[in-house]
Amino acid sequence: MTALWQLSARQLARLVQSGEVSARELARTFLDRVDRLDPALRAFVDHRGERALADADAVDAALARGEPVGPLAGVPVAWKDNLVRRGEVTSAGSRMLASYRSPFTATALQRLEAAGAVLLGRTNMDEFGMGSSTENSAHGPTRNPWQPDCVPGGSSGGSAAAVAADLCPLAVGSDTGGSVRQPAALCGVVGLKPSYGRVSRSGLIAYASSLDCVGVLARTVDDAALWLRCTAGSDPGDPTSAAEALPEFAVEARPDLRGLRIGLPWELNGPGLADEIEAVLADARAQLRTLGAELVECSLPHVSVAVPTYYLLAMAEAASNLARYDGVRYGFRGAASGSCEAMTTASRSSGFGAEVQRRLLLGTFALSCGYQDEYYGKATQARERLREDFRRAFAGCDLLVSPTSPVPAFPLGSRIDDPLAMYLCDALTVPASLAGLPALSQPCGRTAAGLPVGLQWMAPPRREDLLLQAAHVFERHTDHHLPRALP
Ligand code: GLN
């Protein structure tokens, strides 16, 4: 018999809606798994225990009164530690915010609760979203459920590990340059980064505002679509949120991939890939052909400058966004006496970890007087070229595919002292981020050592419908998403 924790969010909500299972029973089931498995994994930084059970009781009470409950009725959802919830701590993986309590709740979380979801707990992350391994966290690293000596990817590594270990069917993440897709790939789950502006950023602790997106980690493509339905839409709290509504679409609308032209940008499908990633991707491409897709070679000529462009923009925007953490307004204050400057210096030197400090230094340098045009301005131009590359590519095809990550999950500690090696983990995900495109990673096979490999899909602006439908066809006809990491 299938256990409750093996079911999708969609299936769990149906059981709650029909009264076969109570929301309390679901919350209890997943909290028990967290208690049993998370001490070794550390996917969560905190779970809400009794408070989650009380929220589940409220869903059950609403059902008992015959009130309508939402499409996520009783579904336990975890969220990344950079989305705020009123009255609760949000630390963004940083010592700087260790005791910060928000006066308001992030729109994405509000909308999930309005849809009936039960918020289970906060998941671990690289400090302020800066990293690709979840090792840059003040709470210590998270482990990969498939191989505990390996990283889960990052920065939403806690959310990806939580879903991969079936500690919850859905976990909210954020993706600035790949932080939902890359950990999804390394943990063997689905990761959706919607178009920039599709889901409100209100209540998401800012890293790089022109790139930040709220996304989700799920076990199935359909669950990712369900999450998007519940959270997407304009919001007065985020002026960049899109007014355009998400079109009505059924994820299972396509029987196969016939009639779709799928582009293979050669720059993302060969150079720099680990051999085992290449081999798995070759099989995935063959599968796409078998499903009726027409695969076409294409090019994104400016992708070679995507990583430096991304890091310049991200660090500059971070330097500006993180200027607010001055030791006065957000809790943490370093020990210093004398001047205001000494206090700020002490607070920022001991409140931020090494990687954040490195980026703030570089970002501040890039924005220093007289250099803006040379650095930030140039990067903005490079970004425009890349956008134009995507426009051209999409003139000849409907969707693009590539691997999500050039490497599978790597051993804990193996890249942490080499920032450049870490930054190169993002080579395949930052292009869609720079262009603001919707993108998704889904499991497409395994290495000889049993580590998951991810297939990345990229769609034209606002075409989440097409993205999710195509990925759903691949999922329906393959079984890469089925094996579970932990009993
Ligand atoms: N690894 C990238 C970085 O460190 C992406 C992180 C993210 O998307 N938040 O910036």
Which of 80, 127, 132 most suits a substitution to test ligand 1, by most atoms within 8 Å of the C-beta?
A: 132
CA of 207 to the centre of ligand 1 (A): 9
pLDDT tens track for 466-487: 999 999 999 999 999 999 999 9
* pLDDT average, residue stretch 367-390: 95
Burial class (CB in 10 A: 0-12, 13-18, 19+), 340: exposed
pLDDT digits (tens, 9 = 90+) for 394-417: 999 999 999 999 999 999 999 999
Most ligand 1 atoms within 8 A of CB, residue of 80, 151, 179 to mutate: 179
CATH of the domain at 200: 3.90.1300.10
Q: How far apart are CA 171 and CA 216, in angstroms?
A: 6
**Would you state the pLDDT for residue 186?**
98
> Is the CB of 314 within 6 Å of ligand 1?
yes
Whether 11 is in a domain gets the answer yes
Name the band, by pLDDT with cuts 50, 70 and 90, for residue 331: confident
Kindly give the residue spans of alpha helices, DSSP state H, lying in 293-425.
306-321, 340-351, 354-366, 378-396, 419-423
Q: Are 440 and 192 within 8 A, CB to CB?
A: yes
Q: Select from 137, 151, 155, 360 the residue to mutate for testing ligand 1; criterion: most ligand atoms less than 8 Å from CB.
A: 155
Phi and psi torsions of 254, nearest 5°: -100, 130
pLDDT band, residue 271 (cuts 50/70/90): confident
Q: Is 317 in the pocket of ligand 1 (CB under 6 A)?
A: no
Nearest CA-CA partner of 117 in 30, 247, 206, 244: 30
Write down the pLDDT at residue 360.
97
Residues in CB range of 362: below 8 A, 6 or more apart: 315, 319
Length of the chain equals 487
- Band (pLDDT 50/70/90 cuts) for residue 1 is confident
DSSP assignment letter at 177: S
Residue whose structure tokens are 């790939």: 185
pLDDT for the residue numbered 361: 97
pLDDT at 336 > cutoff 90: no
- C-alpha 182 to ligand 1 mean position (Å): 9
For the stretch 135-161, pLDDT in tens is 999 999 999 999 999 999 999 999 999
Which residues are catalytically annotated? 80, 155, 179
Record the tokens describing residue 432, joined without a space.
């869609």
Q: How many helices and strands (H and E) does the chain possess?
A: 15, 11
Model confidence, pTM: 0.98
Spatial separation of the C-alpha atoms in residues 273 and 407, rounded to whole Å: 7
- Nearest ligand 1 atom to the CA of 314 is 10
Does residue 299 carry a pLDDT above 80?
yes
290 part of a folded domain: no
The C-alpha atoms of residue 180 and residue 426 are separated, in whole angstroms, by 11
Contacts of 67 by beta carbon, 8 Å cutoff, 6+ apart: none
Report how far apart the first and last C-alpha atoms of the chain are (Å, whole number): 13
Give the Cα separation of 387 and 309 in Å (integer).
12
Instruction: With respect to residue 339, please indicate whether it lies within any of the assigned structural domains.
Output: no
Looking at ligand 1, which atom is closest to the CA of residue 178?
8
- Residue 42 belongs to some domain of the structure: yes
Question: From the CB of 176, is ligand 1 less than 6 Å away?
Answer: yes
Residue type, 153: G
Q: What pLDDT is recorded for position 86?
A: 97
d(CA 175, CA 153): 12
Would the CB of 178 count as within 6 Å of ligand 1? yes
Q: Which of 309, 426, 429, when mutated, tests ligand 1's pocket best, judged by the most ligand atoms within 8 Å of its CB? A: 426
Residue for token digits 């919001």? Answer: 235
Confidence (pLDDT) at 337: 78
Q: What is the mean pLDDT of residues 88-102?
A: 96
Does the beta carbon of 405 lie inside 6 Å of ligand 1? no
User: Ligand 1 in contact with 153 (CB < 6 A)?
Assistant: no
pLDDT band at 329 (very low <50, low <70, confident <90, very high): confident
Q: How far is the CA of 71 from the centre of ligand 1 (A)?
A: 31
CA of 166 to the centre of ligand 1 (A): 24
Other CB atoms closer than 10 Å to residue 377's CB: what's the count? 11
Q: Mean pLDDT, the chain, as a whole number? A: 96
For the residues of 264-276, what is the DSSP string, one character each? EEGGGSSTT--HH
383-398: per-residue pLDDT in tens? 999 999 999 999 999 9
Taking residue 421's Cβ as centre, other Cβ atoms within 10 Å add up to 14
Q: Report the pLDDT averaged over residues 332-344.
A: 89
| Overall number of domains in the chain | 1
Residues forming a β-bridge with 401: 457
Ligand 1 midpoint to CA 310 (Å): 9
What residues contact 251, with CB distance under 8 A and at least 6 apart? Answer: 221, 222, 225, 468, 469, 472
Asked if residues 153 and 405 have their Cβ atoms less than 8 Å apart, the reply is yes
Ligand 1 centre to CA of 168 (Å) is 23
Q: Which domain holds residue 63?
A: 4-245+438-450+462-476
pLDDT of res. 30: 98
Could you tell me if residue 14 is inside a domain?
yes
Tell how far the Cα of 191 is from the centroid of ligand 1, in angstroms. 14
State whether the beta carbon of 177 lies less than 6 angstroms from ligand 1. yes
